[in-house]
Amino acid sequence: MLDLTFIRSELAAHYDLAPDPDLAAKMSPIYAKIDKVVTPFDFATFAPYIAAINALKAERNAAILAHNYMTPEIYHGVADVVGDSLQLAIEATKVQADVIVQCGVHFMAETSKVLNPSKIVLIPDMDAGCSLAESITQAGIAEMRARYPGAPVVSYVNTTAEVKAASDICCTSSNAAQIVAGLPDETVIMTPDKYLAQNVAKLVPHKNIVWWDGSCIVHEQYTAEDLREFRSWNPGTRIIAHPECPPDVVAESDFSGSTAGIIAYVEKEQPEKAMLVTECSMASNIAEANPAVDFVGPCNMCPYMKKITLEKILWSLHSMETPVEVDAAVAEGARQAVQRMIDLSQKLAA
Ligand code: 13P
Ligand code: SF4
C-alpha cells in the first residue's frame, strides 16, 4: 500500500502544490472541458498537479493512457489517450514514448506491458485491482476446460496476464459478441464475467455459451426494478447500460455497449435525458461535449479506478514507481490471446 504521508512530504519538497487560482486561470482551455462538474475552487487545487504532471511527462518522455472511468481532471487535464479497454489496448501498441503511465486498473497496465514490452509501464497505485480480474486464476481456466473439453476459452480483458495466457482469445465489452460469433465452435467458454457471458448469449443464440461465476462489483449493483422505478419517475430518459450489468438490467435499457460505445451512442443520439448505468465519471467526462444532454439518475463508483488520483500520477512520474512487470513466457501467451482478439475484431469490422 502507498505511504501517502511520505509521498506528500516528498512531493511538497519538489513542487509547489498549493492551490493556485492564477495558474488555474491560465488553464482555462482545460477548465472549459470540466466546468460543469468541477468547481473553480477544486480546479485551483488541481491546477498545480496538472502543470507538474504535464511538465514531468515531457521530461520523462511519457504518455498517459487513461480509461473512460478516470476522474474529469485526469481525463481532460493530463491524459494523452483516453478510451475503453479495447481502444487503450490498441493504443498501447502504438505508443512511441519511453514510458506509459496507465491511469486505469492493474490488468490494463499489464495489457500495455504485454503489448509493448520495451516500454516502462507505470501504474500509479498497484492496489487498483478489479473484482472480475480477481475472481479467476489459471486453475479456474483449467477447471472450465476439464468441464467442457475442446471448447475454446474466451477471456475478458479484465483478467490477469496469467489467465489471458491460459485462454485461447480475449474479448472486451465492445467486441465480445463478435468474437464469440466469429469462433467456429458451438460451445464457447466465457470467463470471468457471468453477466457479460449471459448478455452475449442473448446476442449469439446459436452458440452454447458457458461461463465462470465472476461479476463486476460496480455493475452488479444495478437492478431492473430500480431502472423501471426510475423510468416511471423520469419518463423519456434514455437508459444506457454497460454489458457487465445483469441481463435483466440490460433488457430494461435502451442501449448497451462498452464505455466507448456508450459515449458514441450519446454523441450520436443526443437524448434530452440520459441515465448511464455504469461508473460515475463517465457522465462527468462527456457532459461538456454534450451540452444538450441532461445526465440524470444514480451512478456507482469503482473503488479500484478511484485509487488513481492526480497526486499518485505525479508521484508515479516523479519516482518512476511502480513499474509493471510480466514474466516473459506468460507475457507471450497473453500477448497472443490479446493479439488474436485485436486481429479478429479488426477483420470482422473490415
Ligand atoms: P470497457 O472496456 O467498456 O471500457 O470496460 C472496462 C471496465 O472495466 C468496465 O467496468
Ligand atoms: Fe473491474 Fe468493475 Fe471496476 Fe471495471 S468497474 S475495473 S470491471 S470492478
DSSP characters over 34-48: TTTTS-HHHHHHHHH
Pocket of ligand 1 contains residue 131 by CB under 6 Å: no
CATH assignment of 219-295? 3.40.50.10800
- Residue identified by cell 444506457 is 240
| Nearest atom in ligand 2 to 105's CA | 6
**Residue whose CA is at the smallest distance from ligand 1 atom 6:** 85
Pocket of ligand 1 contains residue 111 by CB under 6 Å: no
Pocket of ligand 1 contains residue 173 by CB under 6 Å: yes
Q: 129 C-alpha to center of ligand 2: Å?
A: 8
| Nearest atom in ligand 1 to 105's CA | 8
What three-state secondary structure class fits 63?
strand
106 touches 128 (CB < 8 A): yes
Pocket of ligand 1 contains residue 316 by CB under 6 Å: no
Residue 323 CB-density burial (10 A; 0-12 exposed, 13-18 middle, 19+ buried): middle
What are the angstrom distances between the C-alpha of 48 and each of 6, 23, 55, 104? 19, 7, 11, 22
Residues touching ligand 2 (Cβ under 6 Å) are 105, 130-132, 158, 216-218, 244, 279, 302, 304-305
pLDDT along the chain (350 residues), means of 10: 97 98 98 97 98 98 98 98 94 96 98 97 98 98 98 98 98 95 96 98 98 98 97 96 98 98 98 98 98 96 98 98 98 97 85
Please count the CA atoms within 13 angstroms of the CA of 293 that sit on its side-chain side: 25
What is the C-alpha separation between 307 and 40, in angstroms, rounded?
23
**What integer pLDDT is reported at residue 259 of this predicted model?**
97
What is the Cα gyration radius of the chain?
Answer: 20
Element (H, E) at 56: helix 40-60
Q: 246 C-alpha to center of ligand 1: Å?
A: 15
**b/e map of 48-58 (b: 16 or more CB within 10 Å)?**
bbbbbbbebbe
This prediction has a pTM of 0.97
**Residue whose CA is at the smallest distance from ligand 1 atom 2:** 85
**Residue whose CA is at the smallest distance from ligand 1 atom 3:** 258
337 touches 156 (CB < 8 A): no
153 touches 144 (CB < 8 A): yes
| Nearest atom in ligand 1 to 243's CA | 3
Ligand in nearest proximity to the CA of 301: 2
Pocket of ligand 1 contains residue 215 by CB under 6 Å: no
Q: 258 C-alpha to center of ligand 1: Å?
A: 6
| Nearest atom in ligand 1 to 69's CA | 4
**What integer pLDDT is reported at residue 284 of this predicted model?**
98
Q: What is the DSSP letter of 214?
A: B
Q: 104 C-alpha to center of ligand 1: Å?
A: 10
Q: Which three cell numbers stand for residue 15?
A: 513542487
Nearest to 62, CA basis, from 89, 95, 103: 95
Q: Say which residues have a Cβ less than 8 Å from residue 143's Cβ, sequence separation at least 6.
A: none
**What integer pLDDT is reported at residue 350 of this predicted model?**
78
Task: Please state the separation of Cα 49 from the chain's center in Å.
Answer: 23
What is the C-alpha separation between 103 and 117, in angstroms, rounded?
18
What three-state secondary structure class fits 157?
coil
Q: 104 C-alpha to center of ligand 2: Å?
A: 10
Task: Please state the separation of Cα 51 from the chain's center in Å.
Answer: 24
What is the C-alpha separation between 110 and 107, in angstroms, rounded?
5
What is the C-alpha separation between 164 and 283, in angstroms, rounded?
31
Ligand in nearest proximity to the CA of 66: 1
**What integer pLDDT is reported at residue 348 of this predicted model?**
82
Ligand in nearest proximity to the CA of 176: 1
Give me the residues paired with residue 156 across strands: 171
Pocket of ligand 1 contains residue 244 by CB under 6 Å: yes
What is the C-alpha separation between 297 and 63, in angstroms, rounded?
34
- Residues making up the chain, counted from first to last: 350
**What integer pLDDT is reported at residue 346 of this predicted model?**
83
What is the C-alpha separation between 326 and 334, in angstroms, rounded?
10
**What integer pLDDT is reported at residue 233 of this predicted model?**
94
Residues spanned by CATH 3.40.50.10800 within the chain?
A: 4-130+305-319, 133-216+327-349, 219-295
Q: 13 C-alpha to center of ligand 2: Å?
A: 35
Choose the residue to mutate in 85, 110, 132, 191 for probing ligand 2, maximizing ligand atoms within 8 Å of C-beta: 132
Fold of 4-130+305-319: Rossmann fold (3.40.50)
CATH assignment of 133-216+327-349? 3.40.50.10800
